[in-house]
Structure 1
């Protein structure tokens, strides 16, 4: 992967974290009952969920692109 792609991915995850923090504060109001640790756990959970789903999609596309999903003909045909 190129450095610019890695930079874009890191920036996307940072933007997601900020967006989740702002949305959570706006949705529950300034007097929400979630501590800083709870918000941190919420944001880390959302970012890790996105990372796992991206990784699985990349594996699926890599497998399909390199022919790992092709059906081999039966032997002797």
Structure 2
């Protein structure tokens, strides 16, 4: 902590304040919905939303993985050495 500049300290303070405020807000929202019951349609919507979010996330990660392995990303990275230049 001795080698930190004033900007880094200010950034840490701002991020810590945001974390604390987010925790306070989350706790107040959690308490505000204590008496609310969710019916069957709400549970179905929650389940479908979670399922499709995971499906899209896994699909995008798979596309990124296969794109990286097949060499489609090589053109987009001008700083990476190509195999022909290494020899």
Of the three residues 34, 37, 49, the one matched with 1:33 is 37
Structure 2 residue 50 is the aligned partner of structure 1 residue 49: no
| Higher RCO (CA 8 Å, separation ≥ 6 residues) | 1
- The runs of at least 4 aligned residues of structure 1 exceeding 3 Å deviation read none
Task: Give how far 1:71 is off.
Answer: 2.6
What is the CA–CA distance in structure 2 between the aligned matches of 1:32 and 1:43, rounded to whole Å? 18
Q: Which has the larger radius of gyration?
A: 2
Question: Any gaps of 5 or more consecutive residues in structure 2?
Answer: 1-32, 79-87
Output one character per residue of 1:43-68: Cα deviation in whole Å (capped at 9) or x when no partner. 11001000000000000001000000
TM-score, normalised to structure 2, is: 0.45
TM-score, normalised to structure 1, is: 0.50
